[in-house]
Amino acid sequence: MPIMVFLVRDDFIIEYQNRCAIERFGDLQEHLCCDELRLALGDSIFSSSSTVADPPGIPVEATIQGVSVEYSVVPFESDSEKEVALLVMRDITRQKKNEKELLNFNDNIEDILKQKIVELEESQETRKRLASQINTLKHQLGYHHDADRMVGSSRALRELREMVHQVAKSDATILITGESGTGKELVANFVKALSDRDDRPFLKINCNSINDSILESDLFGYEKGAFTGAVARKKGKFEVVNGGTIFLDEIGDISPRMQASLLR
């Protein structure tokens, strides 16, 4: 990088410029320094304590006549009666431009990295959500598989399973028929497991073991004083299990009157 050299007297007249200095700033020899050069030189360099043996000046950056430079100033021994300072300067305009471009590049890289980090965090969050949903589905599928305790793969059982899947999401009353021991309770359990009420109460009542009057009070409850001995209000099973599921086993064995009450 070209070095520019100035010899400046203590009256701030430029005594000498090398060719590089002339090319950059023009021929200023025997002219008064510009204010920026005078500021660069300072007054202390011409003090009586300054000698040639003084250490070189510390490089300083400045802008002189629109040019970014780095310079240092040291006393210079001369035959002139006036004190002379040696001003050594180099043009760092390109260096400053490169530094600015590098700084902008670093800022851009930092912005890009921040954006990528945000995208990565969002991607990780998405993966976590998907993993959670998959685990939930696996759990549900596994639970439903465990709830299906009906053994067999015959056409009749396949059709029965398909029917259970169809009716399980319904809020309608479901009638399960079949001979004793054919697995009506297994079907009821499977329906409940597949329904939206799976996490709510599930009550099983054997209608065959309770007479009508007790069954009616047990299912529907009664108010205080409704009959002799009704000293307090009692909630019925339908009210207790509201929102859940009731499985009335052997419902065909109860009286027609009780069946009519249930239908109402």
Please give the structure tokens belonging to residue 88: 């050594």
- The CATH number that applies at residue 80 is 3.30.450.20
- Domain contains 78: yes
What is the residue range of 131's domain? 94-147
Residue 49's pLDDT is what?
44
Residue 50's pLDDT is what?
41
Co-location of 259 and 199 in the same domain = yes
Considering only CA atoms, which of 196, 193, 190, 210 is closest in space to residue 253?
210
User: Are 169 and 159 contacting, i.e. CB atoms less than 8 angstroms apart?
Assistant: no
Residue 187's pLDDT is what?
87
- The CATH number that applies at residue 250 is 3.40.50.300
Residue 100's Cβ-side half-sphere holds a number of Cα atoms within 13 Å equal to 7
Note the helical H segments in 169-255: 184-194, 212-220, 237-240
- Domain contains 63: yes
Q: Could you give the number of structural domains in the chain?
A: 3
Between CA 43 and CA 49 the distance in angstroms is 12
Between CA 57 and CA 75 the distance in angstroms is 9
First to last CA, the chain: 104
pTM above 0.85, yes or no: no
DSSP per residue, 4-25: EEEEEETT-BEEEE-HHHHHHH
Co-location of 109 and 58 in the same domain = no
Q: Mean pLDDT for each consecutive 10-residue tract of the chain (264 residues)?
A: 84 88 87 78 54 55 81 78 83 84 80 81 82 68 58 81 85 86 85 82 83 80 77 82 86 81 74
- Domain contains 156: no
Co-location of 243 and 171 in the same domain = yes
Co-location of 47 and 101 in the same domain = no
